[in-house]
Chains A and B, each alone.
Chain A
């Protein structure tokens, strides 16, 4: 056992871990954040000092043990440190999605009975202020970035700088108070409440203990042999358990460095700067990178294109075998090395993957194309499957055994089983304590023996890998009785770079049909090449050439579906391209971009009816919600197309 692991075994809460890390590796970087174009470093010691100041500042504001403190904003070093600050003095942090609309935020703040909120900037302060009358529990707001805050003179709003000053003063008055509070903390204390949006109903507050997060983090760090040398980019939403788990829990257990991006839009540049050794992203981001590469190569000179195609061909043939450490001939090894020099190396460098030992993805199925692409050029991309209720992971793919069609075997110390109806259950050291103020939901999900019901339909393969099929409740049947798994079809569609979102319909119907959202960037590029003029999403989406493009994609998917007799009758017969992008702000997607089928079905019922009619176009009235909650409306004409289907069993 290394020093650090020893430490994490003794220090049973995260504040204690922070103190330990500050003592053992105090001069190593804990956080970096790019500010004004320069990466600023905070060492573990500085992080511990900041946590003490913020924590004591909250005490000065009147924080009592058990009080909830909301954290809202993009990833910044100080917001991460605020987690520890709050936990140190007995508070419970409740992270919120920075891009949530005021409405959603006020629900969570009220439900959690948050007394304080630490916000990144004016935008978040404004959102909370706009609905403060609905959050009686809120007493004080703190902001980190002073920009635009000059005119705010309300006494309950103060800067983080000011809070830290208060904290220093309090510390001087009560030296030792902070240390006592930290020492009082116990491993089975509630560490954090993470609200999950879920695809239906109000968000639920998942309660996780220090033990759950810390033990799962230690198992993961041991399995992947992670130590203080790692660098990660902490860019995913603070309120998402995966980010908290990796950019906080694992970071503290292993003692590595979390790097916060300059702004939400600078991801690619920041990735390149940092070159993380461990990287986690939803499949959409990996797909997006691949699309970008495709666009760039498409614009490149012919020689480059040829070279790229040739070496990617080589990589697809031998790359995955090399990555898995299996035998490859000398000639192929040489070719691959040359490819590394000319193509893979530069691509990885461009994406910031040069140093990446492990890249995780999860949350949604991954395209074959994408998965094998990254693995072939030497990026160790692995899938994981997890839930907020499990402190992030349930299944983890192992090095040398990463497969596309499964999410890997259960992680160390995690048990899984398949219940009636095919639902996946698990029991893990990371099990949650329950839903906050929601006994009923807790009883439904967490049974007396500690099994958690995932709501996902899955199967376990003969060699113990778990394969997720769909949301258990989404699987339906067509009128002829064929099983209809909408996500399966949608995922196939979404693997095309031009298709950003798809909604498949077919439950209880004679044939399957689909809504499509085009990818504005990829299709915009296509339009530029073809010389199509357009004024925006709605205009572009309704162009005939774009319909032609999407139609070809769908026909390919149909041919693919036709290969499997069980799926042949779920081929898509009609489709339309939606006149607006499905948006989390309009409640059509969750913040993690999962479809909210019921809302979509309600809102676009007219369009669904049209798909199952003879009509070739529909006139609709659409509404969009802006971030501040205002609503705008516009009219649009939506075309509907028929698609050719393939005969079953034929390729």
Chain B
């Protein structure tokens, strides 16, 4: 392998990189000149104390926030900013810190909405669907089959037909993960997937995240508060503090980084 090949391979490895991103809300500077990349197939953690700008960063990546400066490279294409629809269509799925499910709909319907972008626009539309026959039916069945795989994977068979608003929090988080997975994403953004869970639920969620990464090869970027979880789960960690990147590396490197110890571990532990 020649040197250029190696360089090309390394460049191709990053599925998404953010470069010199700055984001302000009025006078508040949420993110200041942050750059990092997410490599194909890895589990990438973004950590930092409260108010470090982690969720803002996620919102920039999936297009909810539009940064004033910097650029985003996604699959090699340069963008000034993402739009939510484009992000979703481009293979980025996400979950939310406080669970944003369609509470009145069943688990099955919720996960089916995740298939939204995978559905053939014309075949599943109003007129044919009114009669629910032929191609529409086949299409619907194929998607349903995929969704059933997810339900099996996440072990949520029992709540298939339950409106998610009635589920306990831990299960809602799982359904939300299911909805994100339904889009067969290349990049999965998880905003505190284990927040508010008890120990047993956390362990289940860890197992699911590792399995997703392992079985589907999905690249995962996650924000997490629980340091232990982050260190066990992730391949690489980027640390933000007050909107500034203070460290970036493997869990071991980050753990021993003096800046991190001062800013994060030192303060909260």
Contacts and interface: CB of A to CB of B under 8 A. Distances in A.
Direct A/B contact, Cβ within 8 angstroms: yes
Interface of A: 34-38, 147-148, 150-151, 262-263, 265-266, 269, 536, 626-628, 632
Contacts of A150: 214-215
Contacts of A34: 157
Nearest to B149: A36
B160 interface: yes
Given A36-B145, A36-B149, A626-B199, A263 B211 contact: no
Contact of A265 (B145, B153, B157, B200): B157
From A37, A265, A266, name the one whose CB has the most chain B CB atoms within 10 angstroms: A37
A49 to B, nearest CB: 25
Contacts of B214: 148, 150-151
Interface string B158-192: 11110000000000000000000000000000000
B250 to A, nearest CB: 20
B166 to A, nearest CB: 11
From B158, B160, B211, B214, name the one whose CB has the most chain A CB atoms within 10 angstroms: B158
Interface in B206-255: 207, 211, 214-215
A155 to B, nearest CB: 20
A265 B158 contact: yes
Nearest to A628: B203
Contacts of B139: none
Contact of A269 (B145, B149, B158): B158
A584 to B, nearest CB: 15
B211 A266 contact: no
A623 B207 CA distance: 24
A38 B215 CA distance: 23
B137 to A, nearest CB: 16
B5 interface: no
B152 interface: yes
Interface of B: 144-145, 148-149, 151-153, 155, 157-161, 198-200, 203, 207, 211, 214-215
Contacts, number: 43
Contact of B215 (A147, A263, A632): A147
B157 A626 contact: no
B199 A148 contact: no
A269 B108 CA distance: 15
Given A36-B148, A148-B207, A269-B161, 9 more contacts: A35-B152, A37-B148, A147-B153, A147-B211, A148-B214, A150-B215, A151-B214, A269-B158, A626-B199
A626 B158 contact: no
Contacts of A263: 155, 157-158
B211 A148 contact: yes
Contacts of A266: 157-158
Contacts of B158: 262-263, 265-266, 269
Contacts of A627: 200
A196 B211 CA distance: 35
Nearest to B161: A269
A615 to B, nearest CB: 30
From A36, A147, A263, A269, name the one whose CB has the most chain B CB atoms within 10 angstroms: A36
- Report, nearest first, the 8 A-B pairs whose CB atoms are least far apart: A265-B158, A36-B148, A266-B158, A263-B157, A262-B157, A37-B148, A266-B157, A148-B211
A77 to B, nearest CB: 16
7 contacts: A36-B145, A36-B152, A37-B144, A147-B215, A265-B157, A265-B159, A632-B199
Nearest to B148: A36
Contacts of B149: 36
A356 to B, nearest CB: 21
From B161, B207, B215, name the one whose CB has the most chain A CB atoms within 10 angstroms: B215
Contacts of B160: 37, 269
From A35, A150, A269, A626, name the one whose CB has the most chain B CB atoms within 10 angstroms: A269
B59 to A, nearest CB: 30
Contacts of B207: 148
Nearest to B210: A148
B207 to A, nearest CB: 7
A265 B152 CA distance: 12
B135 to A, nearest CB: 21
B111 to A, nearest CB: 12
A150 B211 CA distance: 9
A73 B235 CA distance: 32
Contacts of A536: 198
B216 to A, nearest CB: 11
A263 B151 CA distance: 11
Nearest to B215: A150
B233 to A, nearest CB: 15
Contacts of B144: 37
A623 to B, nearest CB: 13
A490 to B, nearest CB: 28
Contacts of A36: 145, 148-149, 151-152
A508 to B, nearest CB: 39
B140 to A, nearest CB: 13
A626 B200 contact: yes
B45 to A, nearest CB: 20
A626 B203 CA distance: 11
A37 B151 contact: yes
A35 B145 CA distance: 11
A37 B207 CA distance: 23
A150 B153 CA distance: 14
A628 B211 CA distance: 18
Contacts of B151: 36-37
B170 to A, nearest CB: 12
A351 B29 CA distance: 58
A151 B215 CA distance: 10
Contacts of A265: 157-159
Contacts of A38: 148
Nearest to A38: B148
B158 to A, nearest CB: 3
A202 to B, nearest CB: 27
A626 B199 CA distance: 9
A632 B200 CA distance: 11
Nearest to B144: A37
From A38, A150, A262, A536, name the one whose CB has the most chain B CB atoms within 10 angstroms: A262
A536 B198 CA distance: 10
A15 B145 CA distance: 36
Contacts of A35: 152
Contacts of A269: 158, 160-161
A235 to B, nearest CB: 12
Nearest to A261: B157
A109 to B, nearest CB: 24
B65 to A, nearest CB: 33
A148 B157 CA distance: 18
A475 B24 CA distance: 74
A621 to B, nearest CB: 17
A40 to B, nearest CB: 12
A97 B149 CA distance: 26
A37 B149 CA distance: 9
Contacts of B161: 269
Nearest to B211: A148
A35 B207 CA distance: 21
Contacts of B211: 147-148
A266 B207 CA distance: 21
A582 to B, nearest CB: 17
Nearest to B146: A36
Contacts of B157: 34, 37, 262-263, 265-266
From A150, A263, A626, A627, name the one whose CB has the most chain B CB atoms within 10 angstroms: A263
A456 B161 CA distance: 44
B107 to A, nearest CB: 12
